[in-house]
Amino acid sequence: MSDLNTLAPDNRDLSMFPGEYGLPFLGKTVEFVKDTLAMCNKHYEKYGPVSRLDMVKNQRVLMCLGPEFNEATLFDPKGNFSVAGGYASSLGGLYPDGMLTRDDAKHKRTRRASQPAFKNDALKTYVDMLIPIQERRIQDLPINEEFIFYDNIQKTLMDVAARVFIGLDELSPEAKKLGHLFSEINEGLITPLPYDLPFLQFRKSLKAREELRQFFIENIPKRRGSNGLDMFTRYCNAKDEDGEYLDDIDIDGHIAFLLFAAFDTTTSALTNILYYLGKNPEWQDKVRNEIFSVTNEMPTFEDLAEMNLTEYVFQETLRFYPSVMVLNRRTTRDVNVAGYDIPANTVVMISPPFTHRMEQWWDDPYTFDPMRFSPERAEHKRHGFSYVPFGGGAHKCIGMHFAMMNAKLYLFRLLKNYKINLRSDYDPAFQHVHLPRPVDGLPITLTRI
């Protein structure tokens, strides 16, 4: 396989597949951003599981829908699909050295060195860091007064990122500056004009990414040999199988991408969880009762593992709205999947939430029903790749257990003290890109228990 610097040109001849390329220059990008799921449904109903389309920059893409394609692209033991190639024109522009934009030996080396930062021993230390941050932020929430939850949880999780990921005092000027840089970078991921030209957002994002890179590069020597428990310090001290430290570019690339992957995705997940708990008060009561069954004032790592109903709610929310609505890969050679011959160097797009709503695999898929994840029903195990909110295979999200732990801790403290109330008949539109959430940011009102 190739990295971003040595990729052959994309295959642009998709004429053998049904579909529609869309508008000149923009392709189907506007439709994709407006409602990703509606676009997937439209293509599936009109053209079947495989169809062609264009995206911004005139990139041609083959949309492949269903668990068979999820399995082929994500599990991929023969290396038929490149992750780096799939994201070269999107994430690769701002995160070219992140773990998600690497294949083969480069990816394997970085991932193996990263794993200790996500083992149980490490996760237990993060609990102690998370609790005071979440406690302070939750105590400051407005009571009996409507506020936008997304904006609030975004600030909370930025504090978490500063402390847990980078090892900074989350109230320090340095942390605030990095938070601003990070937000500026992410604006470049959703711009319709991803070009390095004056006055465009993408140029501002590239400049912010360079400033963030300089921070990491300057601090790597200071962190090596220290005993900090934050993820950045752990990466600075991580060694590969040959006993060598990771290269600076590896650390910078992965920590920068990890900030995006863990911070933004959990912001989306918690916002959507509160939406579903507000719309389904009976489930809010079930989760709260589970929380009250925990004897410790604040849950231990072991307590969190026993919060099964809370976990089912987390899983069901990500069934509807996984934090990444589409995943990209690129074929490395001619390959046949489910009877379709896909040429080499073809960018392939799969959609987890489309698969998560397929009636072939899920009972009453448009109903919020967390118990479908219970051992007795286990609908998510009917096909190994019908439920893929964290991807799969070698590139499966390394931080998924941290994300669930972070969400459980927050819900524990919030629901133990407050009831979540939504406006009567609240039915918001959802944005899908780059992270799914109610367009209005979820206005809620908290009342004390």
Domain count, the chain: 1
> Is 399 within 8 Å of 323 (Cβ atoms)?
no
Q: Helix and strand tally (H, E) in the chain?
A: 17, 12
Residue 9 lies in a domain: no
Say if residue 210 is exposed, middle or buried (CB neighbours under 10 Å; 0-12, 13-18, 19+).
Answer: exposed
Residue 1 lies in a domain: no
Residue 23 lies in a domain: no
Assigned token pair, 321: 């709205």
Helices (H), 167-296: 173-187, 201-223, 231-237, 248-259, 265-279, 281-292
Helices (H), 323-398: 352-355
pTM of the model: 0.93
CA distance 309 to 100: 31
Assigned token pair, 285: 């009561």
- Confidence (pLDDT) at 415: 98
Residue 16 lies in a domain: no
Measured in residues, the chain has a length of 449
> Is 92 within 8 Å of 83 (Cβ atoms)?
no
- Confidence (pLDDT) at 302: 95
Of 325, 329, 393, 330, nearest in space to 356 by CA: 325
Residue 391 lies in a domain: yes
- From first to last of its 449 residues, the chain has per-residue pLDDT tens of 445 556 789 999 999 999 999 998 889 988 998 899 999 999 999 999 999 999 977 899 999 999 999 999 999 999 999 998 988 777 767 777 777 778 888 888 888 888 888 999 999 999 999 999 999 999 999 999 999 999 999 999 999 999 999 999 999 999 999 888 888 887 887 776 788 888 889 899 999 999 999 999 999 999 999 999 999 999 999 988 888 898 999 899 888 888 877 778 899 999 999 999 999 999 999 999 999 999 999 899 999 999 999 999 999 999 999 988 999 999 999 999 999 999 999 999 999 999 999 999 999 999 999 999 999 999 999 999 999 999 999 889 888 999 999 999 999 999 999 999 999 999 999 999 878 999 999 999 999 99
- Confidence (pLDDT) at 2: 47
The residue assigned the tokens 């971003």 is 4
- Confidence (pLDDT) at 173: 94
CA distance 380 to 268: 21
> Is 4 within 8 Å of 88 (Cβ atoms)?
yes
Residue 64 lies in a domain: yes
3-class secondary structure, 23: strand
Of 63, 86, 85, 67, nearest in space to 75 by CA: 67
CA distance 174 to 185: 17
Residue 196 lies in a domain: yes
3-class secondary structure, 390: coil
> Is 299 within 8 Å of 415 (Cβ atoms)?
no
CA distance 210 to 87: 19
> Is 323 within 8 Å of 436 (Cβ atoms)?
yes
DSSP per-residue letters across 133-171: HHHHHHHTS-SSS-EEHHHHHHHHHHHHIIIIIT---TT
Domain that holds residue 155: 29-448
Other Cβ atoms within 10 Å of 439 Cβ, number: 10
Residue 269 lies in a domain: yes
3-class secondary structure, 384: coil
Residue 408's CATH number = 1.10.630.10
